[in-house]
Amino acid sequence: MAYFDAASTESLHPAARDALVAALDGGWADPQRLYGDARRARLLLDQARAKVAVAFGVRPDETFFTSSGTQAVHLAMLGALSARRRTGRHLVVGAVEHSSVLHTAALHEREGGRVTTVGVDRTGRVDPEEFAAALRPDTALACLQSANHEVGTLQPVAEVAEACRAARVPLFVDAAQSAGRAEVPAGWSLLAASAHKWGGPPGVGVLVIRKNTRWRSPLPEDEREGRRVPGFENVPGAVAAAAALEAYAAEMERDGPRLSALVDRIRERVPHLVEDVEVIGDPVRRLPHLVTFSCLYVEGEALLTELDRLGFAVSSGSSCTADTLRPSHVLEAMGVITHGNVRVSLPRGTSATDVDRFLAVLPGAVARLRRTAGVQVSE
Amino acid sequence: MGLRRRRAEREIPREATPPAYQGPMPVLTIDALGRKCPIPIIMLAERIGEVPVGQIIAVQADDVAARTDVPAWCRMKSQDFVREETLPRGWAFHIRRTY
């Protein structure tokens, strides 16, 4: 089985496994206590925090471990909105943010807040000028992802951060999809990331709150993680996440360009191999490992099942899933075909042979499904 | 690649009734109500050849995905998306055959 769904999650990095096993034995004690075992756990946690802080170019006392990327998103947004309530209750979000961001925005709106959604162009990118124009004197927070999780397009974080700075509005960046793979431009106030996306263990997220950023916990008081994240610290998880990030980022510096060339190969070949297909997302300003295309007249789920049968694990933003009955909000906002959608995201170490095998079986898979659906479309 | 920008949320005017449509009427209407994507698009692609070039074909559908898929299909296939008409249930999408 060739695994092409790194955007959902990476398998555990060997460096993370070693660190996790060691920390389960050496870092089990309560890091807030004063005896030897506790001090050892505290030391491991502090070292992990320092490593992650270096990776994001921030200070350790600005870096907090959460129980997931989603929890980091929730805490970043709700805490910033809560702290800036006197400024106003207006929130600005991009149209193609992760559902955790949009659901938090929806909650804010239900509770009497105002939300402005900034649309995207055909490639899924927000226009920094349109984003800047959405900022108001009563804007409490602006949110923009570093890169889109479904189509890989990089967002103009630097330009938007500059506009937010000028408007004195804090910017929250959801870096879940790019952390470990691409640097996040500076200028943001809050950031969220998720360790399992860079080969860390599940159940570990990262929340960064820069100094001079107003933030107030939206949750009941708790003394853990600098009063930012409630609950007993997952020291082994944090240690493994930090080890994975260090190893992964170093590998990606070498391997990222190779993966990016494989993505270019897919982007270039698919339109020649399959009729009536559209490769979507920005071809250049994109994540190194992710490409998405849509095949006309094919059900996304059926295509995924067929590719799974042929030995390829890929994902789809396509609609027609019984649980949502809604097309992907990303594809909808971009104005591109929402069915027959395939997202290929290459994990570390993907071989060119596997990519070529994928390109070899794809045309047949699409043709079979079109035949089954009785598609007889003349030009 | 086109760079037309669009709002994520369509604003549907609720109170003002739009002026009655004055443009050309469809010469063929396909009923894809109750059909999930991509069936409405398949039906459209199969039957657009039945209307003369320059004439309008309409697809009725109630899968919300069709609101994105029909205009996107028109863009991909260089057909002319004319308008979306709101029906009591679903929408009718009007397309002018260009070739």
The pLDDT tens digits of the residues spanning A187-213 come to: 999 999 999 999 999 999 999 999 999
Q: CA A284, A290, A291 angle in degrees (round to 5)? A: 75
Q: How far is A160 from A146, CA to CA, in rounded Å? A: 11
Catalytic residue list contains B37 = yes
A120-176, pLDDT tens digit by residue? 999 999 999 999 999 999 999 999 999 999 999 999 999 999 999 999 999 999 999
Q: How far is B36 from B62, CA to CA, in rounded Å? A: 8
Q: Which residues pair with A279 in a beta bridge?
A: A293
Chain A residues with CB-CB distance to B68 below 8 A: 327, 331-332, 335-338
Residues 6+ apart with CB under 8 A from A235: A23, A27, A28, A31, A41, A44, A45, A48
Chain A residues with CB-CB distance to B75 below 8 A: 335
3-state secondary structure of A308: helix
Q: How many Cα neighbours within 13 Å face the side chain of A271? A: 9
Residue A340 at interface with chain B, using a CB cutoff of 8 Å: yes
Residues 6+ apart with CB under 8 A from A127: A118, A120, A121, A156, B5
Nearest to A122 among B4, B8, B38 (CB): B4
pLDDT by position in tens, chain B (length 99): 344 444 444 444 555 556 677 778 999 999 999 999 899 999 999 999 999 999 999 999 999 999 999 999 999 999 999 999 999 999 999 999 999
Contact B56, B27 (CB under 8 A): yes
Which residue in chain A has the smallest CA separation from B10? A333
Contact A43, A184 (CB under 8 A): no
Contact A123, B2 (CB under 8 A): no
Residue A317 at interface with chain B, using a CB cutoff of 8 Å: no
Rounded to 5 degrees, φ, ψ at B48 are -60, -25
Summary mean pLDDT of chain A: 95
Q: In the CATH hierarchy, which top-level class contains the domain B28-96?
A: alpha beta
Contact A211, A24 (CB under 8 A): no
A268-303, pLDDT tens digit by residue? 999 999 999 999 999 999 999 999 999 999 999 999
Is B65 within 8 Å of A320 when comparing Cβ atoms?
A: yes
CA distances for A313 relative to A141, A153, A233, A344, A345, angstroms: 37, 21, 33, 9, 10
Residue A57: left (phi > 0), alpha (psi -120 to 50), or beta?
left
Q: How far is A85 from A55, CA to CA, in rounded Å? A: 31
- Shortest Cα–Cα distance, B77 to chain A (Å): 8
A55-87, pLDDT tens digit by residue? 999 999 999 999 999 999 999 999 999 999 999
Local confidence band at A321 (pLDDT 50, 70, 90 cut-offs): very low
Q: CA A158, A347, A15 angle in degrees (round to 5)? A: 95
Contact B51, B85 (CB under 8 A): no
3-state secondary structure of A1: coil
- Shortest Cα–Cα distance, B5 to chain A (Å): 5
Sign of the CA dihedral running A92, A97, A101, A103: positive
Q: How far is A183 from A178, CA to CA, in rounded Å? A: 7
Q: How far is A192 from A208, CA to CA, in rounded Å? A: 6
Task: Please tell me the predicted confidence (pLDDT) of residue A323.
Answer: 52
The residues spanned by each domain of chain A are 13-247, 252-372
Which residue in chain B has the smallest CA separation from A327? B65
Is B5 within 8 Å of A333 when comparing Cβ atoms?
A: no
Q: How far is B62 from A143, CA to CA, in rounded Å? A: 33
Chain B residues with CB-CB distance to A119 below 8 A: 5-8
Q: How far is A41 from A190, CA to CA, in rounded Å? A: 27
Chain A residues with CB-CB distance to B63 below 8 A: 319
Task: Please tell me the predicted confidence (pLDDT) of residue A318.
Answer: 66
Residue B41 at interface with chain A, using a CB cutoff of 8 Å: yes
- B7, B24, B27, B37: the catalytic one is B37
Residue B53 at interface with chain A, using a CB cutoff of 8 Å: no
- Shortest Cα–Cα distance, B19 to chain A (Å): 26
Report whether pLDDT(A10) > 90: yes
> Radius of gyration over alpha carbons of chain B, in Å?
13
Q: CATH topology for A252-372? A: Aspartate Aminotransferase, domain 1 (3.90.1150)
Task: Please tell me the predicted confidence (pLDDT) of residue B19.
Answer: 65
Is A339 within 8 Å of B1 when comparing Cβ atoms?
A: no
Residue B50 at interface with chain A, using a CB cutoff of 8 Å: no
Tally: H helices and E strands in chain A:
11, 12
Q: How far is A98 from A188, CA to CA, in rounded Å? A: 18
Report whether pLDDT(A379) > 80: no
Nearest to A117 among B9, B63, B65 (CB): B9
Nearest to A327 among B3, B41, B65 (CB): B65
Q: At which residue do the structure tokens 């009497």 appear?
A: A112
CATH number for region A13-247: 3.40.640.10
Task: Please tell me the predicted confidence (pLDDT) of residue A322.
Answer: 45
C-alpha closest to that of A104 among A72, A152, A130: A72
Structure tokens at A166: 């000028």
CA distances for B98 relative to A371, B49, B81, angstroms: 26, 10, 10
